[in-house]
């Protein structure tokens, strides 16, 4: 029979992962880094925290093995240690959505009224891309598109959507996607597209889920 103290130490080590994620800001960091590598300064801006506070969170998550780093001059860049970290975050998010009271209400308060926001799943979108029946818009910030995107998607950051509308042909369905099921950018894009007379839907989740499903992706090669 195994030693009790050894078992306690083992399960305490497992719990370090949960402890490293025991903050809404840290969960948000994982959601962000699932899109690709970002600098400390970029992460701080995205989560609306000071650089000092953001660095504290990032270092704690790196110590727990969730993140890896690289240095470029004076700047430090963080990325997820592996795709398993993104999978763990996705599972945690899905458990909360299914079992924690009030998550739907909180999601609605953040995302807004979703009546009229139609969705489609990954397999349907992949089939329609293959047939050339749809235009796909990646409405995340440009650095995330460059790190990786759905193959064939157009980079259309949400802040620049209106100026891109003129390039969209009439009568073609448009599908927008962003970081995941709780990313507001895709909802905003669909609302704007519908207001302008386009037939628009959003991907039911986002790029990380598409990538983990083994569907076609591309990245921008830096020269």
Given the residues 153, 178, 193, 200, select the one marked as catalytic. Answer: 178
Q: Is 183 a catalytic residue?
A: no
Is 147 within 8 Å of 35 (Cβ atoms)? yes
CA dist., res. 210 & res. 126, Å (int): 9
Closest CA to 103 of 116, 87, 92: 92
CB 153 within 8 A of CB 136: yes
CB neighbours (10 Å) of residue 58? 22
Q: State how far the Cα of 129 lies from the Cα of 106, in Å rounded to an integer.
A: 33
Question: Which residues belong to the active site?
Answer: 178
């Amino acid at each position: 029979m195994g030693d009790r103290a050894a078992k306690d130490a083992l399960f305490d080590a497992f719990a370090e992962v949960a402890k490293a994620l025991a903050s809404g800001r840290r969960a948000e960091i994982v959601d962000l880094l699932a899109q690709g590598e970002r600098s400390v300064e970029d992460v701080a801006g995205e989560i609306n925290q000071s650089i000092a506070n953001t660095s504290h969170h990032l270092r704690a998550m790196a110590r727990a093995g969730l993140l890896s780093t690289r240095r470029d001059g004076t700047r430090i860049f963080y990325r997820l240690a592996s795709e398993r970290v993104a999978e763990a975050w996705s599972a945690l998010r899905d458990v909360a959505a299914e079992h924690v009271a009030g998550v739907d209400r909180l999601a609605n308060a953040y995302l807004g009224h979703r009546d009229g926001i139609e969705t489609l799943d990954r397999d349907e979108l992949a089939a329609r891309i293959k047939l050339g029946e749809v235009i796909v818009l990646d409405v995340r910030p440009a650095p995330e598109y460059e790190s990786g995107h759905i193959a064939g998607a157009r980079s259309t950051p949400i802040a620049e959507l209106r100026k891109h509308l003129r390039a969209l042909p009439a009568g073609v369905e448009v599908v927008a996607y962003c970081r995941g099921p709780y990313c507001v950018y895709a909802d905003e894009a669909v609302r704007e597209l519908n207001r302008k007379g386009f037939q628009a839907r959003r991907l039911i989740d986002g790029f990380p889920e598409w990538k983990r499903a083994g569907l076609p992706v591309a990245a921008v090669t830096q020269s």
